[in-house]
Chains A and B, each alone.
Chain A
Amino acid sequence: MTAAAPRPAQQTRRSLRTETLEARPVNLDGFVEEWPEKGLVAMESDFDPQPSVRVEDGVITELDGRSRADFDFMDSFIADHAIDVATTEASMALPSVQIARMLIDPGVSRAEVIAVTRGLTPAKVLDVVKLMNVVEIMQGMQKMRARRTPANQAHSTSARDNPLQVAVDAAEGALRGFAELETTLGVVRYAPLVAIALQVGGQVGRGGVLTQCALEEATELELGMRGITAYAETISIYGTESVFVDGDDTPWSKTFLASAYASRGIKMRFTSGTGSEVQMGNAEGRSMLYLEIRCILMAKGAGVQGLQNGSISCIGVPGAVPGGIRAVAAENLVASMMDLECASGNDQSFSHSAMRRTARMLPQLLPGTDFVCSGYSAVPNSDNMFAGSNFDTDDYDDWNTIQRDLQVDGGLRHVREPEILAVRAKAARVLQALFEYLELPRITDDEVEAATYANSSNDYPFRDVLADLTGAQQVMDRGVTGLDLVRGLEATGFHDVAENLLTVLRQRVSGDLLQTAAVLTADFTPLSAINDANDYAGPGTGYRLQGERWEELKKLRHVTSATDPETEVD
């Protein structure tokens, strides 16, 4: 008897090169053949409807080949709320290629394009973008994004839901340039402490950063109403009625939720993305992009100011079919051309290949979007509680280098270590003082020291989770609000952080953050499509990376000095 594996009778000789290529990370990714009948196709499908519209007495009675009697609730919602009835017939009569030309023609203003797109049906919009290759899509994005100045968003989470880590990494992320920060939890009961940590840490890094905590919708709304978060994003919408209903929702229920936020002056956006419907087995035979365009129009009809899209957590699905990443770029463009703020994906683990991860984000980085990433991981991916992002802290220097190589502004900058250490230490001390003020479990000096120099959650001492959870419950029971945090920060001597947080909270009264694509600058000026409108009109116009900002982005970790080549630029 033997214990060895049987050897095949004859072994064919293999190419050494093939073996090398087989071992490449890209071959660990998943790729599938298209199946258009089932919707497993990015954007080129014979089964997508033909564009059409009919208006009778100011009401749309036919939409993309379907008459009102056969509308599902997405059709109804889009027909009644999203499409501009007054202009639709005229806009639909324009040849798609003409509209596509308008998108890339620098001589046609954004406003002129919007005047046309507001009257288009989903199938017509698809028809237009199908004519555009990825370069043209990027060209269109450059003009159509809502806010002139591009920005970026990050995740700050912890595998142990350690609020100290969330605060400190939020501070560093804000310092590096993120304008929005997002967190979520493994253990939901930790939410109050982690949300507080994110908000306070963010304000330490840079006053004016906006924060959100992704949770079940009722809890998320409550935290927002209390002023413990500044905005909300993870309110999901879907492209088919069946998938929407599977999640116990309708376009109207989502709109109601959106208005609840608006009534409190809290910024919010919806989330959608190609691939979700076919993943749930209910694409109704439509292409991924067609269904996503329905989502985008539904969002427009609801009246929300913006949308997070770019496939988001379903990125593995378009990523597996031909032209998928082109479709993802197209969906960002469509959001922008429907005059919505676009937080453009790049936020979920997508590939084993570093080259592919980079290629995926160029269509957003190069033209610039309202938020190039809707979730760059400002913590190592092992700590990322959104199941991993396309980029994490390990990629900071690469990102900054690409900005410098191509002279594009991706919202980030290199920061020297002493500044990072200082802001991390300060965030830790602020949270320590605030926890004591709120009678929450102590943060020790050892923890503060560890936090300053840490990389991941493994570098922090363990906290007493039981005591933290009891404290978190007390925060909710005692009705702690953002103003209590302001009082606490003031009482513990951190006047500047208190002032920052109070100013962010005050925005609810002014309502400026409800405008399209609104963020706050470091001196608390709201920057939105109203006062920072994208005025791109060809070479030499629009947002350019130049001047002081360009000087800032020229800095990297190691740059040899020209004045003294034996040293590096500080």
Chain B
Amino acid sequence: MSDRLVVGVDIGNSTTEACLALVGPGGAVTHLGTALTRTTGVKGTPASTRGALTAVGRVLAAAGRRPHELDRVLLNEATPVISGLAMETITETVITESTMIGHNPATPGGEGLGVGTTVSVLDLAEHPVAEPAVVVVPPGWDFDDVAAALNAAAARGVPVVAAVLAGDDAVLVTNRLVHPVPVVDEVSAVEKVPLGMRAAVEVAAPGRTIRTLSNTYGIATVFELDPDQTRQVSPVARALTGNRSAVVVRTPAGDVTDRRIPVGVLELRGEVRTTKVDVDAGAEAIMAALARVQPLRDAHGEPGTHVGGMLAAVRDTMADTMGDGPGGSDAADCAIRDVLAVDTFVPAEVRGGLAGEITLENAVGLAAMVRTSRSRMQAVAAQVAAELGAEAVIGGVEGEMAVLGALTTPGTRAPVVVVDLGGGSTDAASLSADGVCTAVHVAGAGELVTKLVDSELALDDREVAELVKRWPLAKVESFFHVRHEDGTVQFFDQPLPAHVFARVVVLGPEGPVPIGTRHGLDAVRRVRREAKRRVFVVNTLRALRQVAPDGDLRRLDFVVLLGGSALDFEIPDLVADALAEHGVVCGTGNVLGDQGPRNAVASGLVAAHARGAVRAGGTA
């Protein structure tokens, strides 16, 4: 019997990969090449056939072979996975009665603390001489005229102690005052500042922060408050901490509150017990509740909330996908099998703010995953066989194939565990020394990382968030040099494009791309790494605990990382560092010695076939 030409095809969530090889009569394998293409449709449904055929076509063409030479196509037992994710903001900051201005404008004027009564510049000429004035200036006033008005009042004997401006004019005004005072500007809703009330304005020197208005007792001193009143102003002081400037107005019922927004209940149904947890309790509470009911059989959110809508949509999409197959859809097959909750921040405008204050509200990001036990790969196999004129066989369970592929990495042997870091889900599979394979899938992967980056940096641009995730950062310091995030400097012969000047950029494949954020490079880097840690490290540990003997990570020896996200420049290191604490050796796979972390399942199918482990006949 001569060598047989076989191709292993792995239909994944986002990519379909093929591995072409000659298998000799004794099981010897000669690899001829690999190819990959985008998965068409949902993995494991007839729609994904076309992608499979494309991948096979490409790998054959690259190896100079024709379809009719193919003996067998080995397909993986790809069951559809639908993933979804949603973000729910769970806190809300509200300022009532315009009691505080804390937007921290870039260029306040003057320095120090001014305490007086709020009076509009329009009424300043009539203001009594004895009373210190905090002058409030509406939009449309020219800075020269504002300064003239303040100087005139001061000359008249009115103690002008501070000013609050609508326009960006604080420095301009203070430069023209005979007696400079603290001035806060860029207050867009200045007409809401209550007049005739006691108020305090504080501006710190450049590079410093305020001391009085960010101190509860400082505010108490300024406004002569009793202990009960002092307790009430504490949130105001807290909200102003870290600011270079601030205004506090003593209004009768004004305060600043941090409300928790009720966003409904998440119901987690386990094998044995069911539990409910408030989404606004935060990620830790949700994951703790999940741990108590593991293994998860389904999850439901509150209708009308983002989380509820997402969970319902994910379930419906699976029902639609499976609905055209044999036997119709079955409720049990469209169940949420895993969720991952992550604490995050969403920048949001403060309600009742006078100057468009933005604060970082707490939010919960939730990723969910639906898996079904039924497969429609039969239809796919039949179509592939018809198109190519070769036998098409569905071989082996996914996890097992991934492990076999990973074992073609030099330096590995069973027992071994693989972790596949994908776009929609993170998967782990283990192969014990006696050939027993266990596989698990958890929700949350690359897409969730992108969403976190997008949200926490307030980018509102998925394309840029994706770039920030994948590529390292630099700050363009001049037209001829950038400083990389590791501190090293790189010089250029040709000047950099004008639109990146002075910006924090991502060093993408097509050159530097500026990031539209106010944050410095370190902040962006921190957000990126934390997002990857909160998703991939957490999930790797979660998945490994489910396949490790007795859930004990220390009992694992070798872990091999696979999948697209294992190509990321820092994720493998973050994961390896976290596993090192548990004494686990972790590295990125190198399938076939030259494919890196890709093509594991496809290569595994070929390897399994060569061992005769694949049953002929196409039965699942």
Contacts and interface: CB of A to CB of B under 8 A. Distances in A.
Direct contact of A and B (CB under 8 A): yes
B17 to A, nearest CB: 15
A439 B38 contact: yes
Given A3-B122, A465-B463, 10 more contacts: A1-B125, A439-B37, A439-B38, A439-B40, A439-B51, A439-B54, A466-B462, A466-B463, A466-B466, A469-B463
Interface in A1-52: 1, 3
Contacts of A469: 463
A434 to B, nearest CB: 14
Nearest to B461: A466
Contacts of A1: 125
Contacts of A466: 462-463, 466
Interface in B27-84: 37-38, 40, 51, 54
Contacts of B463: 465-466, 469
A465 B51 CA distance: 22
A150 B377 CA distance: 59
12 contacts: A1-B125, A3-B122, A439-B37, A439-B38, A439-B40, A439-B51, A439-B54, A465-B463, A466-B462, A466-B463, A466-B466, A469-B463
Interface string A263-294: 00000000000000000000000000000000
Interface in A447-476: 465-466, 469
A445 to B, nearest CB: 13
A1 B466 CA distance: 58
A46 B51 CA distance: 71
A405 to B, nearest CB: 51
Interface string B99-124: 00000000000000000000000100
A489 to B, nearest CB: 17
A249 to B, nearest CB: 23
Contacts of B37: 439
B72 to A, nearest CB: 26
Contacts of B51: 439
A439 B54 CA distance: 10
Interface of A: 1, 3, 439, 465-466, 469
Q: Which 3 A-B pairs have the closest CB atoms?
A: A466-B463, A466-B462, A439-B38
Interface in B416-471: 462-463, 466
Interface in B465-506: 466
Nearest to B38: A439
A439 B14 CA distance: 13
Contacts of A465: 463
A465 B464 CA distance: 12
A1 B125 CA distance: 9
Nearest to A473: B510
B485 to A, nearest CB: 24
Nearest to B126: A1
A97 B324 CA distance: 81
Nearest to B466: A466
Interface string B118-154: 0000100100000000000000000000000000000
B85 to A, nearest CB: 16
A3 B466 CA distance: 53
A469 B513 CA distance: 16
Contacts of B462: 466
B68 to A, nearest CB: 21
A469 B462 CA distance: 12
B137 to A, nearest CB: 14
A468 to B, nearest CB: 11
Interface string B389-407: 0000000000000000000
A490 B37 CA distance: 23
A3 B40 CA distance: 68
A3 B138 CA distance: 13
A436 B51 CA distance: 11
A550 to B, nearest CB: 51
Nearest to A442: B41
Contacts of B38: 439
Residue in B37, B125, B463 with the greatest tally of chain A CB atoms within 10 Å: B463
A3 B122 CA distance: 9
A470 to B, nearest CB: 9
Nearest to B54: A439
Nearest to B40: A439
Nearest to B124: A1
A439 B48 CA distance: 11
Contacts of B466: 466
A63 B490 CA distance: 57
A20 B462 CA distance: 52
B127 to A, nearest CB: 13
Contacts of A3: 122
Nearest to A439: B38
A469 B510 CA distance: 14
Nearest to B123: A1
A172 B151 CA distance: 68
B297 to A, nearest CB: 32
A98 B327 CA distance: 89
A466 B54 CA distance: 23
Residue in A3, A439, A465, A469 with the greatest tally of chain B CB atoms within 10 Å: A439
B214 to A, nearest CB: 38
Nearest to A466: B463
Nearest to B50: A439
Interface in B153-184: none
A465 B463 CA distance: 9
B14 to A, nearest CB: 12
A3 B125 CA distance: 14
Contacts of B40: 439
Contacts of A439: 37-38, 40, 51, 54
Contacts of B54: 439
A439 B122 CA distance: 65
A466 B466 CA distance: 10
A1 B145 CA distance: 14
A150 B545 CA distance: 77
B13 to A, nearest CB: 15
A36 B397 CA distance: 85
A248 to B, nearest CB: 18
Contacts of B125: 1
A465 B54 CA distance: 25
A218 B125 CA distance: 68
A466 B467 CA distance: 11
A469 B466 CA distance: 14
A1 B148 CA distance: 15
B200 to A, nearest CB: 28
A439 B41 CA distance: 10
A1 B463 CA distance: 55
B84 to A, nearest CB: 16
B387 to A, nearest CB: 13
Interface string B508-546: 000000000000000000000000000000000000000
B56 to A, nearest CB: 15
B126 to A, nearest CB: 10
Nearest to A1: B125
A466 B463 CA distance: 6
Nearest to B39: A439
A465 B460 CA distance: 13
A142 B355 CA distance: 66
B50 to A, nearest CB: 8
A466 B454 CA distance: 14
Contacts of B122: 3
A213 to B, nearest CB: 21
A3 B37 CA distance: 70
A3 B463 CA distance: 50
B115 to A, nearest CB: 27
A224 B122 CA distance: 66
Nearest to A469: B463
B424 to A, nearest CB: 15
A469 B40 CA distance: 18
Nearest to A437: B50
B521 to A, nearest CB: 24
B511 to A, nearest CB: 14
Nearest to B465: A466
A466 B460 CA distance: 12
